[in-house]
Amino acid sequence: MINTQIQENRKNIALKNQYHLKYHDKINLGAFYTPTEYVDIVWGMIKPFLNYKSIVLDSSCGYGNFFDYQINYPKKANDIDVIATNQTKNNFPEIDVYSKNALLNVDRKMFDISDNNELIVIGNPPYNDITSIIRNGIKRDNLEIDPDIKTRDFGMSFLLSYVKLNAEIICVLHPLSYLIKKSNFNLLKKFTDNYRLIDGIVIDSGTFKETSKGISFPILIALYKKEKFGMNYNYIKNYKFKTISNKIFSLNDFDFIPNYINKYPLKNIKPNGNDILFWTMRDINALKRNRTFVDEFGYNTIIIDKNKLDYYVYVDVFKQFSHLIPYYFGNLDVFINNEEFKKYKDYFIYECLTRNSFLKDYIQYNKNISLQEAKEIIINYFKSLIGNHYAYQNN
């Protein structure tokens, strides 16, 4: 993927992480620099669209990593962080550098871009869920954002800001969840109505050194082109996503557990003593972090419909074996092959009961199974469920 010529042409400057920032400020600004390997992929993707009218802008440039690529087109860089933009000016004296809030009073004039230019936006805007930021008490909530692009996530607001800039091409890194989670996709309506994903490579958040503290999640290096009819969610469901290790998947490859059981708590229902409780299901990464069966009732608990207890058992076993699932499925719902599951259900139940013996009062089980046998069968089930994605969890 990386052209050696490009490597040779690379400027011999130290583009380090934004080391002037303290850890909390880095979180605040989402300031994590992008490895050159990904920068090269971005330039490779936009190259076919460059022409005499093009201007390339990174409106959240940090130290300017995305400009560490030898190519002769007009370029503009911006970051809200003045120390970072001063560094960018030092690194790249030939580039127009601005120090503005890229989400406030957004229009082309703020970067002196004329209507005649074809704007190509590149970069790695911050992605931070603002609600979790505020909840954790470590992130600020006082950044002013134009009301028409305000969302609960800075990254989504950045995507909407590119619509206001009337970009022709957008090639940025963002969490895959912006597209594949229907609720996010809907929040991006002004963006998705006007832009279509035409290429994309899924990479692992764990490869960004300082963000790798939690569970890895998929990031998409996404190439969007302005199109009259944009894209709808069906387009995303059918889209064949490619990972950096050349795996291909689409959402339509899978049958998901919410097709069988209720994902969220029902309102205004209180449990009685005989109820079984389960933690609310979100995506696979949330399942990895959270519990499954729980004792106490709360706003995050589901009361299990006992006729469907076997599917909750499935989810519990899925969590237990989730290390077999690669990072790029982390934001999907739990998925299932229902026909296969029905065939091997006894083994799932057996394995689950060894960890949750209280369930023996509620579900029939086969006593003539050994745990070893159950585990082998479950692993085989996962092998066939995940197919050629099996055991690629670290890629």
Ligand X SMILES: C[S@@+](CC[C@H](N)C(=O)[O-])C[C@H]1O[C@@H](n2cnc3c(N)ncnc32)[C@H](O)[C@@H]1O
Cα dihedral 125, 127, 131, 132 sign: negative
Q: Which residues bind ligand X (CB under 6 A)?
A: 18, 29-34, 58-62, 65-66, 78-81, 84, 101-103, 123-126, 143
Burial 26-61 (b: 16+ CB within 10 A, else e): bbbbbbbbbebebbbbbbbbbeeebeeebbbbbbbb
Q: Which is nearer to ligand X, 110 or 303 (CB)?
A: 110
Residue 307: how many other CB atoms lie within 10 Å: 7
Helices (H), the chain: 4-9, 23-29, 36-46, 82-91, 130-135, 154-164, 177-180, 182-187, 189-192, 233-238, 284-289, 309-320, 338-355, 371-386
Which run of H or E residues covers position 97? strand 96-98
- Residues with Cβ within 8 Å of 275's Cβ and at least 6 positions away in sequence, in order, are 303, 304
Q: Which residue is nearest to ligand X (CB)?
A: 62
Question: Tokens for 7?
Answer: 């490597």
Residue pair 331/283 in contact (Cβ under 8 Å)? The answer is yes
Closest CA to 263 of 274, 276, 279: 279
Q: Which is nearer to ligand X, 81 or 351 (CB)?
A: 81
Q: Which is nearer to ligand X, 124 or 205 (CB)?
A: 124
3-state secondary structure of 73: coil
Task: Report the nearest approach of ligand X to the CB of residue 155 (Å).
Answer: 9
Which run of H or E residues covers position 12? none
Cα–Cα dist 151/187, whole Å: 7
Expressed in angstroms, the distance from the first to the final Cα of the chain is: 16
Task: Report the nearest approach of ligand X to the CB of residue 386 (Å).
Answer: 31
Helices (H), 233-337: 233-238, 284-289, 309-320
Task: Report the nearest approach of ligand X to the CB of residue 12 (Å).
Answer: 17
Q: Which is nearer to ligand X, 38 or 329 (CB)?
A: 38
Cα–Cα dist 381/377, whole Å: 6
Task: Give the residues across from 56 on adjacent strands.
Answer: 75, 120
Q: Which is nearer to ligand X, 66 or 318 (CB)?
A: 66
Task: Report the nearest approach of ligand X to the CB of residue 144 (Å).
Answer: 9
Task: Report the nearest approach of ligand X to the CB of residue 95 (Å).
Answer: 13
Q: Which is nearer to ligand X, 60 or 301 (CB)?
A: 60
Q: Which is nearer to ligand X, 129 or 351 (CB)?
A: 129
Q: Which is nearer to ligand X, 18 or 331 (CB)?
A: 18
Length of the chain: 395
Q: Which is nearer to ligand X, 174 or 389 (CB)?
A: 174
